[in-house]
Amino acid sequence: MKTLVEAVNDGLHTEMKRDASVMVMGEDVGTLGGVFRATAGLRERFGSDRCVDTPLAEAGILGTAVGLAMAGFRPVCEMQYDAFSYPCLDQLICHVGRYRWRTGGAMEFPITVRMPYGGRVRAPELHDDSPEAYYVHTPGIKVAIPSTPADAKGLIAAAIRDADPVVVLEPKLIYRTARGEVPEGEHVVPLGKARVARSGSDVTLVAYGAMVAVAEAAAERADASVEVLDLRSLKPLDEGALLESVGKTGRAVVVAEAPRVAGFAAEVAAVLAEKAILDLRAPIVRVTGYDVPYPYWTIEDAYLPSPGRVLAAIGKVMAF
Amino acid sequence: MRASMRVEPSPAMPELRRVIGDGDGHPDGEVEGLDDAGLLALHRSMVLLRTYDERSVTYHRQGRIGTYAIYWGTEAIQAGSVHALDDGDWVFPSYRESAIGLLRGMAPATILAWWRGHPAGWWDPRERHVASICVPIATHVPHAAGLAWGLRLRGERGCAICYFGDGATSEGAFHEGANFAAVMHAPLVLMCNNNQWAISTPLEAQTRAATLADKAAGYGMPGVRVDGGDVLAVYDATRQAVQRARAGEGPTLIEAVTYRMAPHATADDPSLYIDEARVAEERRNECLARYEGYLRRRGLLTDELAEAARADALAAMREGIAAAEALPAPDPALVFDTAYADPPPELMAERAELLRLLAEEGR
């Protein structure tokens, strides 16, 4: 049994052992092993040239990673927190997602960006964001979000091995509370494959990251038979799994903790509206954060999707 | 204002390094590393760059290329520095050095295709160790720092050079890239083309630093200031910076001081902000004529050689624009086919849909 953050650590160890071109870089990832200890032990095992404590500069981390990729490395960049990753968006949008295209597809940029994300950790502002929409919206970038320890290890491995840049968002709320069996040795969860976390026949809850557990908690309490689909990859999106589940249940509730407007839940709803309209027996409902700055922690629980809010949405689609 | 000292010196300002004299009171110097053949090869590179630039402005006026960023007058900075590198060293151009690949044997048609918005303007940076043209300001400085750091990690002898303007030194990316390069002992040359204008914004509105070279001190690296119109001074400063880089002593910032002698780009109207008399004075003292004077005083350059260099460059450009214009219209499938090694399936579905529609429309 491993926690989710231990599984991330396991994945990094395994991939660095497997491929000498993999290097981990970021703020405090070396001697300290990361503020969440996701990179603990890497420096001792692989040395300070492969587990690099960088200057405090997120755009510099991702920008130098572009150059390191050009020199033949597979950089794995840690952004210390979700909202501290915003300075790196300049590099991500202007270069990381474009450079392969700019070379006519000749050059690969196998860069992984990983970061703890999400709320409910009782932290000051800008330690709680769900920035996935910025990343998903950037062409050339893939995005994965695990919700279990095994998937955390497997998606990290898939991201590192992928020829394209991949952002892995790790739900920090469940870093130490999500525990589970994690395969020993090499373990890859392919990008673009969703997971049915719970089977049901009346309504599909679509979720990812820490919201999978919220969806599961709501499913436990619902009167209806609820299926929970853990997307695991936002891009590529497993549209087949999404359409199959909603084709079966005819109802969909999308749960995400990011603000609602133009968030990833809207993309899921749009896909269902375009491709599953005849399967739907009720409008697609979103349960998300609100279109406000992430609140102070004494009121953050009111902002985040809760089992109660998800249950209300289930009631709505069942009653339609 | 004296043309040779392009900015008013402050007491703290180091003297501009100069090699080329003025044929009058200021004597000609010499640099190590260039024999007669090397000096003439450097001249041919400057002529090639100059010709590319002048022809491109004409091509733009003729509607044969799109908006173009003019670099007239900075050939000394580009050629002087590239000639101080080995062919295996990496070059990171900004749009102001769009044609610098010519000095590594890149075909003019490739760069002209880039300015024509045609995918044939894509290149593989590994072929000539010339990175893609960076359009946003200074964001390639961290790339060059990372690549140079990677070369060091691999134990390779190579180094990298990164070109940017004075305005770029105000960007966070310049700061982060320079700092990373210093911290990681990256074998990197940071080449600042200080032409004293960022479109319409003059240098004094860009910084309160006495010189841009002074900024190097903040990163713990040497800052060198050279006359950017003196190709041999640029060559010499770059050569020393490259020697430092190869010796494991880390990066160097070179401030090549010049003056923007042409519009920012073909879409710009500098009459709204620039001192035309100053521009005319600078153009009279431009770098290619200065270098040709030097070579003639040394008895190396004859009229025949100068004319041959110009004729060869013009022929290369004629051939280049003809080749660029002869390129077939690009396949719309290229919209989809280069962004991902392993594209998302939904993107491939959109590709199929668009190609089907285009086929129906008979395109």
Q: Helices B75-82 and B287-297: crossing angle, nearest 10°?
A: 60
C-alpha span between B72 and B281 (Å, rounded): 14
In chain A, residues with a C-beta closer than 8 Å to the C-beta of B160 are 67
% of residues, chain B, pLDDT over 70: 96
Instruction: Based on the fold, state whether residues B226 and B195 are members of the same structural domain.
Output: yes
Is pLDDT of B1 > 80? no
Residue in chain B closest to A26 (alpha carbons) equals B180
Residue type for position A253 = V
pLDDT-derived band at B25, boundaries 50, 70, 90: confident
B350 shares a domain with B220: no
**Tokens (6 digits) for B181:** 């390069």
Please check whether residue B44 lies inside any domain of the structure. yes
Closest Cβ–Cβ partner in B122, B146, B176 for A103: B122
Looking at the fold, whether B299 and B164 belong to one and the same domain comes out as: yes
Q: Are residues B199 and B344 in the same domain?
A: no
B336: Cα separation from own chain's centroid: 31
Q: Which of residues 260-289 of A touch B (CB under 8 A)?
A: none
User: Across residues B93-114, what is the average pLDDT?
Assistant: 98
Alpha helices in chain A (DSSP H): 4-18, 42-46, 58-70, 89-91, 99-102, 132-136, 149-161, 211-221, 239-249, 264-275, 300-303, 307-319
Contact of B148 with chain A, judged by CB distance below 8 Å, is answered with: yes
Structural domain contains residue B225: yes
CATH pick for A195-319 out of 3.30.2320.80, 3.40.50.2000, 1.10.3080.10, 3.40.50.920? 3.40.50.920
CB pair distance less than 8 Å for B342 and A237 = no
- Which residues of B carry out catalysis? 260, 264, 273
Could you tell me how many CB contacts below 8 A there are between chain A and chain B? 146
Where in the sequence is the domain holding B336, given as residue range(s)?
331-363
**Residues of each domain in chain A carrying CATH 3.40.50.970:** 2-180
Q: Which of B139, B340, B345 sits opposite A164 (nearest CB)?
A: B340
* Run of H or E including B146: helix B141-153
Evaluate whether residue B230 is within a structural domain.
Answer: yes
User: Would B284 be classed as within a structural domain?
Assistant: yes
- Distance, in Å, from the CA atom of B320 to the CA atom of B120, rounded to the nearest integer, reads 12
For residues B35-59, average pLDDT: 98
First to last CA, chain B: 60
CA angle A276, A279, A282 (to 5 degrees): 100
Q: Which of residues 51-90 of B touch A (CB under 8 A)?
A: 90
Rounded Cα–Cα distance for residues B242 and B83 (Å): 11
Number of domains in chain B: 2
Q: Which residue of B has its CA nearest to A237?
A: B344
* Residue of B132, B160, B172 with shortest CB distance to A59: B172
Q: Where in the sequence numbering do the catalytic residues of A fall? A: 127
| Stretch(es) of chain A classified as CATH 3.40.50.920 | 195-319
Q: Is the pLDDT of residue B12 over 60?
A: no
pLDDT in tens, A185-194: 999 999 999 9
| B199-254 pLDDT per residue, tens | 999 999 999 999 999 999 999 999 999 999 999 999 999 999 999 999 999 999 99
From chain A residues 101-120, the ones with a CB under 8 A of any chain B CB are 101-108
pLDDT at residue B363 in the model: 56
Whether residues B345 and B205 share a domain: the answer is: no
Cα–Cα dist B206/A23, whole Å: 37
- A114, A140, A126: which is closest to A38 by C-alpha? A114
- Nearest-CA distance A95 → chain B (Å): 8
Interatomic CA distance for residues A213 and A274, integer angstroms:
28
Residue type, A199: S
Cis, peptide link before residue A236, omega less than 30° from 0: yes
Residue A83 CB neighbour total at 10 angstroms = 17
Provide the CATH number for the domain formed by A2-180 in this structure: 3.40.50.970
Are B318 and B361 in a shared domain? no
Are B165 and B120 part of one and the same domain? yes
CA distance B131 to chain A (A): 9
**How much is the pTM?**
0.96
Please answer whether residues A143 and A169 qualify as being in contact, where contact means their C-beta atoms are separated by less than 8 angstroms: yes
Q: Is A244 on the interface with B (CB under 8 A)?
A: no
In this predicted structure, what is the pLDDT of residue B17? 79
pLDDT tens, residue by residue, B270-320: 999 999 999 999 999 999 999 999 999 999 999 999 999 999 999 999 999
**Taking CB atoms and an 8 Å limit, are A67 and B149 in contact across chains?**
yes
* Residues B224 and B180 reside in one and the same domain: yes
B150·A192 Cβ contact <8 A:
no
Assess A73–B contact: CB distance below 8 Å, yes or no.
yes
Q: pLDDT tens-digit profile of A139-155?
A: 999 999 999 999 999 99
